[in-house]
Amino acid sequence: MICTHGSPEPIELAYARYRMTEKTQNLNEPASRLAAFDIGSNSLRLVVAEALPDGRYRILDEERESTRLGSALASSGKIDEESITASLTALRRFQSIAEGLGVDCQRAIATCAVREAKNGAEFVERVRTELGLNIEVISSEKEAHFAFQSVRRRFDLTGRNTLLADIGGGSTELVLASGDLIEAIYGTRLGAVRLAEKFGGGQALAGDDFKKMLSWIDRELKESTEKPNVPLHMLIGSGGTFTNLAGMVMASKGLGELPASGYQLARADVRHLVERLRKMTPKERREVPGLNPDRVDIIVPGIAVVDRIMRRFKVNLLQVHEYGVRDGLLLTMIESMQGPASTAPPNCDAQLDRFAEACGVNMPHSKHVAKLAVQIYQGLAKLFDIDEKDFPLLEAASRLQDVGYLISYEKHHKHSYHLILHSRMEVFNPQNLQIVANVARYHRGAQPKTKHRNFRMLDEAQRLRVRQMSAVLRLASGLDRSHNQTVESVGIQGTKGQVDLLVSATEYPEVNLWAARRRAGPFEKVFDTELNVQWAGLTKTAEA
């Protein structure tokens, strides 16, 4: 229900109410509760989740403890007693959490540190004896499969040649894929903790030790991997190194409140950051926004691995994946209970509908405006330099422009911006979500200005796209000012200097033409043209 009277609902409560609606739908029967224990070289993690009927899950609780099981491997080849004790304490705590949440099924996996340690089997036995928890020590290949299972469920890989890198404390697994089919899996010894132990993680890497580490990484990659036969579209990175890398870059650009998943970086961003961080003292690094303090001593080796992987495989674009091995493990557990689920990535149309409906949007109006906006933009693409990849972003912004009514009618366009920005819809990476939110923000009211913080955070190219799409959205909204979908379709004719917007309707759409003409200013300014809005019926009559 759209609320237009009374006190506005706080945006935090409105957003929480939307998320609860999204999370609890389709739960018509008691769901199974699962616990995944991930025992890594740097940290131990627990995820407790509730399985959903469609093969997805809802997270109920998460916990993490940095016990550094792999910290002594480089020097002794064993897990030290201090790390074992800390890990047993953490796992005991994790078990209590899982038990309190009524877990039906649990699975524990251990990766590189336990896999390689001389006393790894002893550690597994101690956990079984003291805690009653059975640990499965998985191979590097199995670890890579879990990571890729997560990626193929959350990204559309159709027609793309990609490289997945999952960086852990003791190793890095690489998966070369064509579409959603694995071509090759490479296991390497390039773990962030391992490298920090070998070359140092503090200021030691400010000098020659950093060059030695790069040479060692390059040699390991050359010996362990083969270069692909075809160019790669992108590197997809999972693990704490990647999320912290994205977190720091996003914080530097004022995007710290957004989730890191889906964020895209160029190799230049990676190289610039590692050069800056390696010259800092540990104390200075601890103050860097977006960096987890637990990773102060291992972040430089971790990012150096990212940089050299991109160099080795000649890939310039990195996309961050916030999930990974634990996500793949949970999906596998659910599949074993429910049977194989669709591997299709999240459905954009369904997510937009769920979000819009939860916010009480007038669906026929919003979808009709979206149709008209995309028709206008497609027509303009024949005259102006417009990227067709922006069509779905404009459609999304159009369908979600009025979600802010959930808070209040006054300044609903600003509320729309915040609701969209914090929706965390999986179908959009953070950059695109920022674009969609801004376009919706400027569908009415003031035009985009750099004094607006949300607009100032965008780069020049993004600002131009927002100006163009928001100007088109204003026109499309005007063309359904009557909210009865009188205007059936629109077309673009003319030249760059004189754009004709032809409106098709069974009867003269007086109110809608009037509203569109009133909103033509931003369009004429951003496209540097004159706009003529007319009813196509009048043209046909005149020709007759």
DSSP string, 398-440: HHHTTGGGGT-STTHHHHHHHHHHTS--TTS-HHHHHHHHHHH
Question: Which H or E element spans position 311?
Answer: helix 299-312
Is there a domain that residue 376 lies in? Answer: yes
Residues 375 and 255 in one domain: no
CATH code (residue 403): 1.10.3210.10
From 138, 153, 178, the end of a domain falls on 138
CATH code (residue 39): 3.30.420.40
The confidence score (pLDDT) of residue 14 equals: 41
Is there a domain that residue 23 lies in? Answer: no
Residues 268 and 384 in one domain: no
Residues 191 and 286 in one domain: yes
Q: Report whether 487 contacts 513 (CB < 8 A).
A: no
What's the chain's average pLDDT?
87
* Geometric angle at alpha carbon 326, from 323 and 328, rounded to 5°: 80
Low-confidence winner among 28-32, 246-250, 261-265 (lowest mean pLDDT): 28-32
d(CA 144, CA 165): 9
Question: What's the pLDDT tens digit per position in 319-372?
Answer: 999 888 999 999 999 988 887 655 555 678 888 988 888 888 999 999 999 999
Question: What's the pLDDT tens digit per position in 132-143?
Answer: 999 999 998 899
The confidence score (pLDDT) of residue 344 equals: 55
Residues 131 and 159 in one domain: no
The residue behind tokens 């009524």 is: 102
Residues 172 and 123 in one domain: no
Residues 134 and 255 in one domain: no
Is the confidence at residue 311, as pLDDT, over 50?
A: yes
Position 158 confidence tier, pLDDT thresholds 50, 70, 90 = confident
Q: Report whether 185 contacts 144 (CB < 8 A).
A: yes
d(CA 194, CA 49): 31
- Which of the listed ranges 111-115, 145-149, 247-251, 306-310 does the model predict with the highest average pLDDT? 306-310
Is there a domain that residue 334 lies in? Answer: no
Is the confidence at residue 5, as pLDDT, over 50?
A: no
Q: How many domains does the chain have?
A: 3
Residues 522 and 436 in one domain: yes
Is there a domain that residue 333 lies in? Answer: no
Position 10 confidence tier, pLDDT thresholds 50, 70, 90 = very low
From 138, 160, 188, the end of a domain falls on 138
Residues 132 and 186 in one domain: no
d(CA 224, CA 232): 18
Domain range enclosing 111? 31-138
Residues 259 and 359 in one domain: no
Q: Report whether 150 contacts 324 (CB < 8 A).
A: yes
b/e sequence 430-457, b meaning 16+ C-beta within 10 Å:
bbbbbbbbbbbbbbbeeebeeebebbeb
Position 424 confidence tier, pLDDT thresholds 50, 70, 90 = low
CA neighbours within 13 Å on the CB side: how many for 170? 26
- Which of the listed ranges 252-261, 367-376, 400-409 does the model predict with the highest average pLDDT? 367-376
CATH code (residue 306): 3.30.420.150
Is there a domain that residue 6 lies in? Answer: no
Residues 167 and 108 in one domain: no
**Which stretches of 25-111 are DSSP H helices?**
73-76, 81-100
Say whether pTM exceeds 0.75: no
The confidence score (pLDDT) of residue 82 equals: 94
Residues 82 and 156 in one domain: no
Is there a domain that residue 213 lies in? Answer: yes
Is there a domain that residue 256 lies in? Answer: yes
From 109, 138, 167, the end of a domain falls on 138
Higher pLDDT, 56 or 117: 117
The confidence score (pLDDT) of residue 521 equals: 94
Is there a domain that residue 121 lies in? Answer: yes
Give 78's contacts (C-beta < 8 A, 6+ positions apart): 72, 117, 118, 119
Structure tokens at 46: 């627990």
Low-confidence winner among 2-11, 350-359, 416-425, 443-452 (lowest mean pLDDT): 2-11
Give residue 239's region: left, alpha or beta (phi > 0; psi -120 to 50): left
